[in-house]
């Protein structure tokens, strides 16, 4: 389905003061996170958004590729210049997960939109969107943060190896979705959630929403570290975004996202 994501189509739906007010749209680019790095070097303001119709070098977490075919997905990144310590920046990924889930939930048809800790967006147990946050630090302070969001929108099929893990809005909702509306809605939510985050410089103001849609909450999970895996029971998150779990021997542990991945006992969630 040809449905270009252009400034003219997105801007009428923006309800923001600063987010997306500088909007750069590409028919195709390497990676919108790379475009944000470039735009930041050129002095682009806080809240600048890069959106692409396709990516040739889409990047996922843990060095993975993010498949970014034309016309069927949303590939967008926002430039943030928060005055926070660099070690707080990973929390912005969880804030962006709230924004993405909040935006998609608006069009909910049937199954709820959920979050798999820390930042996979899930519908019906399959991943519909992912978030990759990258930052540059200069002199110990944040120069910029690029929060990149990829959403499978009108994709009709996935390669066999992804079929039980990945889904799209089209496959879940049974109808094509206009990407410009979704982009604008994500930007609207990002501005509001960022402002909530900056009031306390942590996730205190977003924790209740996040935990309300956290697919892992009150479930048995497997914590996967480089050194090995162990079972635990997920209780929620801390206000700094760690997953709070109870280990089999009864100890509580706050698990930091940079060090581990989490899966369900029976599979992906």
List contacts with ligand BTN (CB under 6 A). Answer: 31-33, 55, 58-61, 64, 66, 75-77, 120, 130-132, 148-150
Residue with smaller CB distance to ligand BTN, 130 or 241:
130
Residue with smaller CB distance to ligand BTN, 40 or 235:
40
Cα separation values, 184 from 23, 38, 100, 146, 215, Å: 11, 22, 11, 17, 25
Residue with smaller CB distance to ligand BTN, 133 or 188:
133
Report the nearest approach of ligand BTN to the CB of residue 69 (Å): 12
Residue with smaller CB distance to ligand BTN, 67 or 178:
67
Give the three-class secondary structure for 51: strand
Report the nearest approach of ligand BTN to the CB of residue 50 (Å): 8
For the CA atoms of 193, 144, 76, 149, the dihedral, rounded to the nearest 10 degrees, stands at -60
Report the nearest approach of ligand BTN to the CB of residue 20 (Å): 15
Residue with smaller CB distance to ligand BTN, 32 or 40:
32
Report the nearest approach of ligand BTN to the CB of residue 76 (Å): 6
Report the nearest approach of ligand BTN to the CB of residue 4 (Å): 17
By Cβ distance, which residue is nearest to ligand BTN?
130
- Helix axes 90-105 and 179-200, enclosed angle (nearest 10): 140
Cα separation values, 173 from 73, 90, 112, 128, 148, Å: 15, 31, 11, 12, 24
**Main-chain dihedrals φ then ψ at residue 231, nearest 5 degrees:** -80, 155
> For 10-118, where are the E strands, in sequence order?
23-26, 49-52, 73-80, 113-116
């Amino acid at each position: 389905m040809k449905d270009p994501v252009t400034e003219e189509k997105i801007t009428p739906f923006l309800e923001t003061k600063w987010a997306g007010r500088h909007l750069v749209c590409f028919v195709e680019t390497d990676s919108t996170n790379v475009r944000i790095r470039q735009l930041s070097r050129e002095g682009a303001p806080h809240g600048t958004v890069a959106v692409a119709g396709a990516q040739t070098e889409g990047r996922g977490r843990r060095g993975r590729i993010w498949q970014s075919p034309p016309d069927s997905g949303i590939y967008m990144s926002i430039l943030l210049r928060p005055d926070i310590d660099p070690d707080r920046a990973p929390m912005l990924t969880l804030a962006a997960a709230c924004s993405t889930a909040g935006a998609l939930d608006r069009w909910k048809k049937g199954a709820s939109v959920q979050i798999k800790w820390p930042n996979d967006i899930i519908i019906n147990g399959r991943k519909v969107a992912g978030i990759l946050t990258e930052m540059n630090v200069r002199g110990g302070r944040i120069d910029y943060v690029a929060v990149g969001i990829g959403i499978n929108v009108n994709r009709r099929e996935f390669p066999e190896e992804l079929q039980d893990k990945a889904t799209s809005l089209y496959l879940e909702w049974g109808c094509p979705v206009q990407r410009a509306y979704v982009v604008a809605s994500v930007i609207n939510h990002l501005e509001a959630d960022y402002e909530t985050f900056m009031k306390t410089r942590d996730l205190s103001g977003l924790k209740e929403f996040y935990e309300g849609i956290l697919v892992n909450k009150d479930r048995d999970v497997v914590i996967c570290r480089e050194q090995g895996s162990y079972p635990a029971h997920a209780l929620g998150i801390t206000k700094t975004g760690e997953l709070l779990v109870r280990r089999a021997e009864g100890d509580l542990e706050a698990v930091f996202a940079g060090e581990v991945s989490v899966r369900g006992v029976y599979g992906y969630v």
